[in-house]
Amino acid sequence: MNAIVLNVNGRSASCNVEQRDSLLEVLREHLDLTGTHVGCEHGACGACTVSMDGVAVRSCVVLAVMSDGRRIETIEGTRSDRVMNVIRRHFHEKHAVQCGFCTPGMLMMARDIICRHPEPSETLIREQLSGQICRCTGYANIVTAIRSAAEEMRQA
């Protein structure tokens, strides 16, 4: 077992993990942060997307021991985030959510896109979302929501 310390959603969290444990397992099983969803478990679907030191990552393919000392933000940590609140509202208004399984990862990726690209084109958004799987919406409303949220953020 390895002792690690993470800064998760602004709080320090200590855990004992095995070498093979993923960050996803630590978040869900050790820290009870179940908003990060388990999907494919090999980095292809994006359901487990979180922010590590300000960059979107697939928590299922990041080893927990590699996260030691890092700043992790999960969907639960974005409740008071102004950017995320704008994104959530646009996802709601543009009907960018159906079953909701992909939504936490999709929201985390949307935030990453908007923070890195304040004026994202439809093409850029689609490229950035290429690793996020949604089986319900067909992406059109998701892309529209992200573009609308980015536009609102630029005007703020």
Look at 29-33, 39-43, 137-141 and tell me which has the smallest mean pLDDT. 137-141
Q: Are residues 121 and 89 in the same domain?
A: yes
Mean pLDDT over residues 112-123, rounded?
A: 97
Q: Are residues 92 and 71 in the same domain?
A: no
Q: Are residues 85 and 144 in the same domain?
A: yes
Query: Residue 35 in contact with residue 104, Cβ under 8 Å?
Result: yes
**CATH code of the domain covering residue 127:** 1.10.150.120
- The structure's pTM equals 0.95
Q: Which domain, by its residues, includes 16? A: 2-77
Q: Are residues 84 and 142 in the same domain?
A: yes
Determine the pLDDT at residue 66. 96
Contacts of residue 106, Cβ cutoff 8 Å, sequence gap at least 6: 46, 49, 91, 96, 129, 132, 134, 142
